[in-house]
Amino acid sequence: MTARPLRVAMIGYGFMGAAHSVGWRQAPRMFALPQPVEMAVVVGRNGQAVADAAARWGWQESATDWREVIARDDIDIVDIVTPGDSHAEIAIAALDAGKHVLCEKPLANTVDEAERMADAAARAAARGIRSMVGFTYRRVPAVTFLRDLIAQGAVGKIAQVRAAYRQDWLVDPEMPLAWRLQKEHAGSGALGDIGAHIVDMTQFVTGLEVTAVSGVVDTIVKERPLEGDHPSLSLSKGSGTASEGYGEVTVDDIALFTGRLSTGALVSFEATRFATGRKNDLSIEVSGDKGALRFDLEDLNTLWFYDRTAPESTQGFTRILVTEASHPYVDAWWPAGHMLGYEHGFTHQVVDLVTAIAEDNDPQPGFAEGLSVQRVLAAVERSSADGSAWVRIGAGALTPGG
């Protein structure tokens, strides 16, 4: 690599900050990137905490003002891992400043924000500035391989898709009221946080768009304990919103919805944080007239394939261990059978982004794809609120109908 290094600024330093840091650190060491990268600066509001994060994760320095960092001439890429309420402001400012942008999913908290971000990305792309949404599960080798097999015709004409993302971290009603449970910060709950993943994965592996949805969202535990100097701590019993020491949960805990794809095929979606015993269970099954493919994140090196064209006497789901060098991304890692994990998707994300920048191409998924997912999420909320049988999804207003 002889090109000038791409210097990265990461805005935010929570759970996703740790995962993204692993990706930035590992990618240039395990893959022959077309351009070197440097972990320049990590940004957060708490000076001591962000300094500790920089030292722990390998960033050269820390800062507390993202606007000052974006204005720096020595920053090439801005990686946004903050809560959704700040995505639009930071991403648009970074793109307008000529920085490439990687933004965590969901792209924004509202369709309006996502549209403004997609517009900014399109303007920036005309100047050679690239942007990408962090739907990292696309980069799990088995998921990419599943997409490739479907594109090659392995399942034939798609008839049905089942997609679910189940967790159980909110089953305990005494789990404190975190930012992910407040609409003003998170936009939505299980629907946006993990439902966004299954919507994107469905569209990614099938190559089809979700064109209409019908569903319901619900909040199972409506109040949760407050901690420390929580902004809602002043709420008290009788306010109509929360009891003393408790704050109102303003997002959904569970979302169940049906989707219709652009071919007319149906999809069942489930996004829940109340699936007792399920820790991080993302699964998808695609059924067609020639076969079926199934993936489960809790067994992420495995893909299951049913070949309906095989002789009847040998038909059945076959386990494919996706660890061969011929499988997507795998040749940079270990010998066959030596498993990859959750963190590897973040490394592959860096590889794809840096490669696209170096080759002057638009990386995938771009902000337009992030916007398409945002429209699906908004349509689900509309369907639930209105009791609509179906809500159609399009570039204009969301409309009820078949």
259-300: per-residue pLDDT in tens?
Answer: 999 999 999 999 999 999 999 999 999 999 999 999 999 999
| CA distance linking residue 232 with residue 217, whole number of Å | 24
Domain boundaries, the chain: 6-137, 140-340+375-384
- Tell me how far apart the terminal alpha carbons of the chain are, to the nearest angstrom: 54
Overall average pLDDT of the 317-331 stretch: 98
User: What is the predicted pLDDT for the residue at 127?
Assistant: 97
User: What is the predicted pLDDT for the residue at 2?
Assistant: 59
Q: Residue 353, by phi and psi: left (phi above 0), alpha (psi -120 to 50) or beta? A: alpha
- Within 13 Å, how many C-alpha atoms sit on residue 78's CB side? 30
Overall average pLDDT of the 144-164 stretch: 98
User: What is the predicted pLDDT for the residue at 224?
Assistant: 95
Residues 230, 194: contact at Cβ < 8 Å?
A: no
Overall average pLDDT of the 294-308 stretch: 98
What pLDDT, in 10s, does the model give residues 197-240?
999 999 999 999 999 999 999 999 999 999 754 443 333 222 33
- CB-based contacts of 123, cutoff 8 Å, min separation 6: 95, 96
- Within 13 Å, how many C-alpha atoms sit on residue 193's CB side? 24
| CA distance linking residue 268 with residue 161, whole number of Å | 6
Pick the CATH number of 6-137 from 3.30.420.130, 3.30.413.10, 3.40.630.40, 3.40.50.720: 3.40.50.720
- In 10 A of CB 320, how many CB atoms? 18
Maximum pairwise Cα distance, the chain: 68
pLDDT at 150 over 80: yes
pLDDT at 318 over 70: yes
More confident residue, 19 or 231: 19
Average pLDDT, the chain: 93
pLDDT at 173 over 80: yes
At CA 187, angle to CA 210 and CA 373, rounded to 5? 15
User: What is the predicted pLDDT for the residue at 398?
Assistant: 54
Residues 388, 400: contact at Cβ < 8 Å?
A: yes
The model's confidence at residue 242, banded by pLDDT at 50, 70 and 90, is very low
- Within 13 Å, how many C-alpha atoms sit on residue 183's CB side? 10
CATH homologous superfamily, domain 140-340+375-384: Dihydrodipicolinate Reductase; domain 2 (3.30.360.10)
Overall average pLDDT of the 371-397 stretch: 90
What pLDDT, in 10s, does the model give residues 48-102?
999 999 999 999 999 999 999 999 999 999 999 999 999 999 999 999 999 999 9
Q: For residue 82, give the nearest of 181, 132, 16, 7 by alpha carbon.
A: 16
Residues 198, 164: contact at Cβ < 8 Å?
A: yes
Strands 210-218 and 158-166, sheet pairing:
unpaired
Burial environment of residue 264 by CB neighbours within 10 A (0 to 12, 13 to 18, 19 or more)? exposed
| CA distance linking residue 34 with residue 38, whole number of Å | 13
The model's confidence at residue 326, banded by pLDDT at 50, 70 and 90, is very high
What pLDDT, in 10s, does the model give residues 102-117?
999 999 999 999 999 9
